[in-house]
Structure 1
Amino acid sequence: MKIVNDQILMDYLLENYNRTKAKNMLKYKEVKVNGKVITQYDYALKAGDDVPSGLLSERTAKESKRTAYMMVKNYVGKKHEQLYLVHRLDQDTSGVLMFVKNKKLYEYLTHHWNDCVTMRSYYGVVEGKMIGRGTIDNYLAESRGQEVYITKKGGQRAITHYEAIVSNKRCSLVHVLLDTGRKNQIRVHMASLHHPIMGDKKYGARSNELKRLALHADTFSFIHPFTHQKMTFTTAIPDSFEKVVKKH
């Protein structure tokens, strides 16, 4: 989000979040100013600075301006009037988003997604001590209350591969690879193993030490359908994920 007037970072955050949420975002390095992580509450913002934090991927009925989509649209400028979001994340999930500026490419990816995408990789902190690796292969459906659940009849097939990286008695850092990309897939699958994602109260989590959903999309890779070039985008795992596991 572009800053209009000079102000202190905490004052800006308090325009959008309560004080506890604002402090935790700074503490866990979830705020960036002009691409650099800032943790100082009294950091001096200047008009024109970019400040991303806790953004929705795209517009909703309640929010249309303060979204990652609008930030990218403003960044690419008026010469690219068309912009399409093809790899989105839940609001509390951090990591790689993908936008395209070409309608033909957007439509092709939308209709041939599984033929183009070669890798979707996530890191998450789950509750409890998880050991080893495995694969979950079942079907997911969505209730009228927008809660996703495992079903034996109907639904869409969902395949998740997971591996525990670091574990202790209270929580574990896990690496996840997706064969499919269903809504809330990782969250539902981890909960089905009795290891819900930390901070995911919707699917049974009891702890929220990071004050956010502990899920991060670290790698997204696909074959460009027109150039046939393999394109891979990555982002580092948040430091807070490893710290919360190692401190117990």
Structure 2
Amino acid sequence: MSKKQQRANKKQEHSLIYIVKEQTELLPFLLEMMRNRSRNSVKSILTRGQVTIDDHIETKHNYSLHPGQTVTILKNKSAIKENALIGMSILFEDADIIVINKDAGLLSIATEKEKNQTAHHQLMEYVRLENPANRIFVVHRLDKDTSGVMVFAKSEKIKRILQNNWKSMVKERTYVALVEGEVTKTQGYISSWLKESKTHLMYSSQTKNDGLHAITHYKSIQTNKEFSLLEVQLETGRKNQIRVHMQDLGHPVVGDKKYGAKKKAIGRLGLHAKVLAFKHPSTDQPLLFKADVPKSFVNKSK
């Protein structure tokens, strides 16, 4: 049995999995399912990010649950320590890198408000179980509400190799985006110069060299009158690039109120890093990692 399978089995052993039968809110549902626990205990399980709904971590007490959704609860503190990782799974690990599949709702790195419940912090704790001197280094980031493939380095040297040669080493970086409305063009691309406002909102300029040049290619996977599922490839990797370019297209990413979305149809941002292919920083071996498209994206765009 592979390390990955062992970790998955261990996580299942320490998880409670429930299928929602009728419409309700998250906290009352958890209190009903975990009658042996006090209200405060259940609230703290929610706050610590131990509850996943379908494909995202959820901490809101009044989150609306619908029949057919899957609620997964990581049982307790000892389970957390034993599993080490909340809101992500390891896809690959060797002496130089760790590649993960991150859930929506988990921060990549620390913010002023949250220091511990991040992919970086958890991986740091994970590698230190083997040797307290071990460390983890951030190579790139995914937004908190974006899920999918991410790579971390195990040394400063490997981090520098990956960051300094990112454009030439990365062979494919494919996202899927669930967007509002029916995208009638089967494929196309958006090109603009991205700038940041004083309120940290990114926006497009069509004036040449007025900002950082960004190019996004898209292809329709499936669509209906309300939603479209797009495969998106980045020619450049700018801050919030897909989110801005989907707004420019007139089809903002689902749940992305910041960039024009009107609906919060799936309880999360409709953006997922599906494929990351790159050359190994030490061996030059080609590596390709995939994270399955969230079911909620597929179901909404059928």
Give TM-score, length-normalised by structure 2: 0.70
Structure showing greater Rg: 2
Partner of 1:48: 79
Query: 1:27/1:203 Cα in 2 relative to 1: closer, same or farther (>3 Å)?
Result: farther
Cα distance in 2 for partners of 1:26, 1:109 equals 44
Query: 1:241/1:47 Cα in 2 relative to 1: closer, same or farther (>3 Å)?
Result: same
Partner of 1:91: 144
Cα distance in 1 for partners of 2:108, 2:263 equals 25
Q: What amino acid is the match of 1:85?
A: V
Cα distance in 1 for partners of 2:151, 2:159 equals 11
Cα distance in 1 for partners of 2:155, 2:168 equals 19
The counterpart of 1:13, out of the listed 46, 54, 57, is 46
Aligned residue pairs total 232
Cα distance in 2 for partners of 1:20, 1:27 equals 18
Partner of 2:235: 179
Higher RCO, Cα 8 Å, sep 6+:
1
After superposition, where does 1:1-248 map in structure 2 within 5 Å? 11=43, 12-14=45-47, 17-21=59-63, 39=71, 44-45=75-76, 47-49=78-80, 50=83, 51-52=86-87, 54-78=105-129, 79=131, 81-131=134-184, 132-151=186-205, 152=207, 153-246=209-302
The answer to whether the 8 Å contact 1:82/1:102 transfers is: yes
The answer to whether the 8 Å contact 1:121/1:218 transfers is: yes
Displacement of 1:136 in angstroms is 1.4
Structure 2 unmatched runs, 5+: 1-10, 15-33, 50-58, 88-102
Displacement of 1:85 in angstroms is 1.5
The answer to whether the 8 Å contact 2:179/2:228 transfers is: yes
Identity of aligned residues (%): 39
Cα distance in 2 for partners of 1:227, 1:15 equals 38
Cα distance in 1 for partners of 2:254, 2:111 equals 25
- Secondary structure of the residue aligned to 1:198 is coil
Q: Give the ranges of 4+ consecutive aligned residues of structure 1 lying more than 6 Å apart after TM superposition.
A: 6-9
- Secondary structure of the residue aligned to 1:73 is helix
Cα distance in 2 for partners of 1:229, 1:207 equals 42
The answer to whether the 8 Å contact 2:243/2:259 transfers is: yes
Cα distance in 2 for partners of 1:222, 1:66 equals 28
Displacement of 1:45 in angstroms is 4.0
Q: Which moved more, 1:52-61 or 1:234-243?
A: 52-61
Cα distance in 2 for partners of 1:116, 1:226 equals 11
Displacement of 1:10 in angstroms is 5.1
Displacement of 1:40 in angstroms is 5.0
Q: Which moved more, 1:9-18 or 1:102-111?
A: 9-18
Query: 1:230/1:220 Cα in 2 relative to 1: closer, same or farther (>3 Å)?
Result: same
Q: What amino acid is the match of 1:13?
A: L
The answer to whether the 8 Å contact 1:28/1:210 transfers is: no
Cα distance in 2 for partners of 1:71, 1:27 equals 31
Structure 1 unmatched runs, 5+: 30-38
